[in-house]
Amino acid sequence: MTRDEMDRMIDAHFGFEAADDVDGVLATLAPDVEHDIVGWPSGPTRGREAARPFYEALFADLSESRVVGVKRLYGDRFLVDEAVWSGRAPGRPFGLEGRNRPLEFRLLHVVEFADGGGIARENVWIDLAAIQRQLPQD
């Protein structure tokens, strides 16, 4: 895959995330995707439908999503995307009471692409310490 093809696929994926479109996000994933949100209680999952609960929870817990890219690195059918997410936390993101407070944290995606162009593996690292500092629990 070229860099442009990888950019188009991951930008479409992120666009569906920004629109809280679960089915759109899942459509960007390969049927047998390995979906790994590091630290997520269920651990890594395999397959589109197994990834659905994560996105349903994410879209209920976070709102007004804005993602600003910091840097992308490319390899043979993979990319690493560093970004900063900002928005509000109306739900319980990552098990913490959001109380609709503003929130900002860094994200690191390691994404591998399938031969057909879908996302074969999505590995996401979230700055949980930053989230915990901004959403103190009393």
Task: List, for residues 75-134, the tens digit of each pLDDT value.
Answer: 999 999 999 999 999 999 999 999 999 999 999 999 999 998 899 999 999 999 999 999
pLDDT for res 117: 80
What is the Cβ-side half-sphere exposure of residue 44, based on CA atoms within 13 angstroms? 12
Read off the tokens for 43.
Answer: 């651990």
- Please give the Cα distance from 88 to 62 (Å, whole number): 6
* Angle, CA of 128, 65 and 21, to the nearest 5°: 110
Domains (range + CATH), the chain: 3-134 (3.10.450.50)
Looking up tokens 């960007």 gives 28
What pLDDT shows up at residue 39? 86
Q: What is the pTM of this model?
A: 0.92
pLDDT digits 0-9 by tens, 31-68: 999 999 998 888 999 999 999 999 999 999 999 999 99
133 burial level (CB within 10 Å; 0-12, 13-18, 19+): exposed
Q: What single letter denotes the amino acid at residue 71? A: K
CB 122 within 8 A of CB 137: no
